[in-house]
Amino acid sequence: MRPKEIRIKYTEYDNINELTAADKNLVQAARSAAKNAYAPYSKFQVGAAVLLENGEVIKGNNQENADFTDGLCAERVALFYAHARYPDIPVAVLAVSAQNHTGQVKEPAQPCGSCRQVMVETEVRFQKPIRIILDGSDGIHILDGAENLLPLAFKPNALK
């Protein structure tokens, strides 16, 4: 037996005002998208904003269903729409924000495992890491690459 350790890297900011203008605009787009989420059951509204390398910003939000397994997360809505509209344009940055019945969540938004896997697949598809901004009222985390969200990720080369 050989114990191993996996570490992730991220940069923590105290609030949105510490971000660059471009990152601040993307976080605000994600916050705006969250307000329009369809979340009548959980009341947990999530918004995502994707900045493509061509400068386009694509927004998405979570869409719930009474059968929770039929809903879709904000991150995947935004990424899939970006790929459908601009299939050959890489994703540069993805911002995620969430709010509940009391307002914006305190801890930075945390994508589910399925969304993390889609982020990894997007990076593999375009051979480029995505900067990921996770927004919360008590802090913002910025990660360089989905592997910092999903270490030991399943990738297409595992199928060979």
Residues designated catalytic: 75
In what helix (H) or strand (E) does residue 94 lie, and over which residues does it extend?
strand 91-100
Reference 97, options 51, 59, 42; nearest CA is: 59
Integer CA distances (angstroms), 6 to 11, 100, 149, in order: 17, 32, 11
